[in-house]
Amino acid sequence: MAAAAGADVRVTLQRALATLAPRQRALLVLRYYEDLPESQVADVLGISVSTVKTSTRKALARLRESAPGLVEPAGGAR
C-alpha angle 30-56-34 in degrees, rounded to nearest 5: 15
Q: What is the pLDDT of residue 49?
A: 98
**Residue 76 within a domain:** no
Q: Mark out the alpha helices in the chain (DSSP H runs).
A: 2-18, 22-28, 38-45, 49-66
Residue 15 vs residue 1, higher pLDDT: 15
pTM (predicted TM-score)? 0.75
- Dist CA 74 CA 7 (whole Å): 23
Residue 48 forms part of a structural domain: yes
> Which residue from 70, 76, 72 is spatially nearest to 9, judged by alpha carbons?
70
DSSP letter string, 23-40: HHHHHHIIIIIS---HHH
Is residue 58 a part of any domain in this protein? Answer: yes
The CATH number covering residue 51 comes to 1.10.10.10
Residue 54 belongs to what domain range? Answer: 22-68
pLDDT in tens, 16-56: 899 999 999 999 999 999 999 999 999 999 999 999 999 99
Per the domain annotation, does 62 fall within a domain? yes
In a domain, 27, yes or no: yes
What pLDDT digit, counting tens, does each position of 48-73 carry? 999 999 999 999 999 889 888 776 65
